[in-house]
Each structure stands twice: as structure tokens, then as C-alpha cells.
Structure 1
Amino acid sequence: MTTCLHTLFSAWGDPSPETRAAKTDAVIGHNFYYSDPNAPDPIQGRDAYLDYIAQFAARMPGATAEVVALSSHHGHLRATVDFSKDGQRMMRGQYFGDLADGKLQRVIGFTGMGEPN
């Protein structure tokens, strides 16, 4: 159940569009919803999501996204994800996901860890 977020984010650093699509297809459900703090609007559906991560791969060749901490309860997931390039962490974010029938239905991300001001 929790490996789906590892698979989803491993697609971000995959240089092959075919492999990115295969990894994504393995873990998302129909009507997939993705909200990223760096996207102007929420992303709806498989094709729009694949376009979004292809843009990441094009802008940041060789960059990766890796789940470094994960917890779950009652079909909900919380992950800490590090975005890195050339061995240097560029950003850390926190992502929340909802599962249905073992597939991700919704993933919502936030930059940082919600540190108090």
C-alpha cells in the first residue's frame, strides 16, 4: 500500500517517457488529482500529470524525487519527499495522498514541512 508513493515519485527522475508512464499507471486510479505548490492549478488526470512531470524532467535533467519518510492510516498517506540534483537536495516537501482500491486517487503537496514561523 505505501509503496505506491515511492513508485509515483520515482517516475519524476526517470529519463524515459515510457517508463515514467508505466510507473504512473501502476499506482494511480481513474480521475487522478494532483495538487503541487509549484503548479498554477491542480492537475487532473493521467495525461496532465505525465505532462507535468515531463516538464520537471526537461527543466531539471538528472534530478530526482525520493520519498524519505512515509506514514499511513485508514487509506491516507503522508510522505516527506526530497527533490535532488547532482547529489544536492534542492527542496523538501510534504505530500498527502488518498488511496482507493490500492491506487492513489489524490495527492496534495506542500513545500517544506510546515515549520512554525
Structure 2
Amino acid sequence: MTTCIDTLFSAWGDPSPESRAAKTDAAIGPDFYYSDPNAPDPIRGRAAYLDYIAQFGAMMPGARAEVVAVSEHHGHLRATVDFTKDGQRMMRGQYFADMSEGRLQRVIGFSGMGEPD
């Protein structure tokens, strides 16, 4: 089953700006909020999010993001996402999301899986 979070992360590394935008539009709702541990500030709105993932593609050509596990309850998602390049995992993160009417409203990411130190 493909979820909206799969669709959202499938845009990462997509070389086509039009395709990235179409995938993003299929996944997010109005007033989209995205907080990434690698961004200095939360990202608000479609345009800012598309700019952010375009920067990812420019800095890491050929890299992509893939949802490897997802669970859902009561309009919330938890996803494990692998960031890969040339078939090698560079980083794994965990994302928590709020949904409304089948679309992502808020996505908050963390590096790693929250392992104890």
C-alpha cells in the first residue's frame, strides 16, 4: 500500500521539477509544515518545501529518499525513511506526521531512530 508519505518522499531525488511538484501536490494539504533536523528553521508551505527538496537534489545528485516502514493510527503516521545514494544508505531518519482528509498537514523528522546513547 502506498501512503501519502511514500508519495511525499518519492519526490526527493526526482530530477524533474514538474514531477516533484506533482508528487508533492498529491501528498500535502494546505498550510503544509515540515520540520527537518538538517534545516535551520521549519519549512512552511508548498513553495518553500519544493525549494528545500530541490536543494537536496542539487547537493546530492542521484540520491533519493525511500520510506522503508510506516505505521498509521487516528490520522497520524510514523515513517522510517532511508536516504540512499548509489544503492548505499547514507542516513536513516524517523518522521512523524499529522494528516487531514488523506493529506499530510505536518511532518516532523528526526535523524536516526532515537536510539539511547
Structure 2 Cα separation of the partners of residues 85 and 10 of structure 1:
14
SS state at 2:11 partner: helix
Q: CA deviation at 1:13?
A: 1.6
TM-score norm. by structure 1 comes to: 0.98
SS state at 2:47 partner: helix
SS state at 2:29 partner: strand
State whether residues 2 and 77 of structure 1, in contact with CA within 8 Å, keep that contact through their aligned partners in structure 2.
Answer: no
TM-score norm. by structure 2 comes to: 0.98
* CA RMSD of superposed structures (Å): 1.0
- Structure 1 unaligned blocks of 5 or more: none
SS state at 2:12 partner: helix
Q: Which residue of 2 aligns with 1:99?
A: 99
Q: Which residue of 2 aligns with 1:9?
A: 9
SS state at 1:13 partner: coil
Q: CA deviation at 1:86?
A: 0.5
Structure 1 Cα separation of the partners of residues 109 and 2 of structure 2:
16
- Structure 2 unaligned blocks of 5 or more: none
Equivalences for residues 1-117 of structure 1 within 5 A: 3-117=3-117
Structure 1: 4+ residue segments shifted above 2 A:
none
Corresponding pairs, count: 117
